[in-house]
Amino acid sequence: MTLLEVSLRAASVLAAFLVLPLLVGQAEHKVMAHMQGRLGPMYAGGFHGWAQLVADGVKFVQKEDITPRAADRWVFRLAPGVALVPYLLALAVIPVHPGVAAVDVPGSLVLVLAATSVGALGTLMAGWASANKYALLGGLRAAAQLVSYELPIVLAVASIALAGSSLSLATLTDRWSPWWMLWQLPGALVFLVAACAELQRPPFDMPVADAELVMGAWTEYTGLRFAFFLLAEYAGIVVMSLLFATLWLGGWHGPFPDELGWLWTLGKGLVVAVVVIWVRVAWPRLREDQLQRLAWVWLVPIALGQLLLTGAGVVMGW
């Protein structure tokens, strides 16, 4: 791999990392508005407010970057980066087209899972370093949520890895068959719910519950650093949606996979992202204890059952 190719791949991943979250964000603006009988942004950029998030970005850049005097300066300043960069890493290894991923590593599934867990660490750092009780509570809630929901995610993904007998996302997608959509359905649902919780999205947004905790771990952040947290949230949706699309919905599988594979992957990812947005609009926030109960009483047993089912299927040679 030449230096040129490496830089080209890096640049394309960065471009996707900067464009796709904005696309999801804009989709959220519009879908949410229409689900509530509104129009959403209509002015920025002229056509149906397509440039609203660009305008928001410009606004965030202009704002003062404040670090509270009592804050743990380095941790406080580093936290947005810790929240954001892992998703860039995760996005790099997700295959979008047959044989095409920015970085093709053998254990890419493990890498994606590891990277997304580090992302939640950024929220924890922010909450701890802010020297603010709301931020601290938000950070602790985020930590509790992370511990509870990592497990169902890993178990659900492990079931797929077992079914495809690989830890490489590209290989798993290659071995995907439509039959998986039924066979792995419980695991898919568990993953979807747990991914929403991992991203701290409504109805699982207790760490940033604005009615209780102001803005949770993000309370003390302003300007660009706050924008990085928002970007990390939407980058997280992109990563989780693409992961779901490649593992459970077959990524590039569809008519003309060799020509339109990338389009299939992105289209399926977008559908999943819209579902994530839809869930946010339709459902109210869970209580903290309900959140833990959902994870340990429902998701973990279902994921374990799915793992058992997959194991049996693999041994029986279904």
Partner 1 sequence: MSLLPGILKGLATTARTALRPTHTAEYPDVAPDLPPRSRGVIALLEENCTSCMLCARECPDWCIYIDSHKETIPATTEGGRDRQRNVLDRFAIDFSLCMYCGICIEVCPFDALHWSPQFEYAEVDILDLLHEKERLGGWMASVPPPPALDEKSAEPAEVAAANKPARGTGLVGGGSPGGPGARMPRTVRPRPAGARGATPPVPEPEPPADGDAS
Q: Which residues bind partner 1 (CB under 8 A)?
A: 31, 33-39, 42, 278-279, 281-283
Q: Between 117 and 292, whose beta carbon lies closer to partner 1? A: 292
In the bound complex, what is the minimum distance in angstroms from residue 280's beta carbon to partner 1? 10
Q: Is 69 exposed, middle or buried (0-12, 13-18, 19+ CB in 10 A)?
A: exposed
CB atoms within 10 A of CB 307: 17
Give the bridge partners for 100, in sequence order: 97
Q: Between 120 and 276, whose beta carbon lies closer to partner 1? A: 276
Residues counted in the chain: 318
Range 133-136 contact pairs with CB under 8 angstroms and sequence separation of 24 or more? 134/213, 134/214, 134/215, 134/216, 134/219, 135/216, 135/217, 135/218, 135/219, 135/220
69 CB-near residues (< 8 Å, 6+ apart): none
In the bound complex, what is the minimum distance in angstroms from residue 38's beta carbon to partner 1? 5
Amino acid in the structure at residue 58: V
In the bound complex, what is the minimum distance in angstroms from residue 172's beta carbon to partner 1? 29
Q: Between 33 and 151, whose beta carbon lies closer to partner 1? A: 33
Q: Between 38 and 59, whose beta carbon lies closer to partner 1? A: 38
248 CB-near residues (< 8 Å, 6+ apart): 160, 180, 181, 184, 187, 188, 191
Q: Between 213 and 295, whose beta carbon lies closer to partner 1? A: 295
Nearest to 101 by CA among 267, 271, 240, 252: 252
Count how many Cα atoms sit within 13 Å of the Cα of residue 10 in the half-sphere of its side chain.
7
In the bound complex, what is the minimum distance in angstroms from residue 288's beta carbon to partner 1? 17
In the bound complex, what is the minimum distance in angstroms from residue 49's beta carbon to partner 1? 11
Q: Between 40 and 81, whose beta carbon lies closer to partner 1? A: 40
In the bound complex, what is the minimum distance in angstroms from residue 264's beta carbon to partner 1? 24
* Biggest CA pair distance of the chain: 62
In the bound complex, what is the minimum distance in angstroms from residue 276's beta carbon to partner 1? 12
Q: Between 32 and 214, whose beta carbon lies closer to partner 1? A: 32
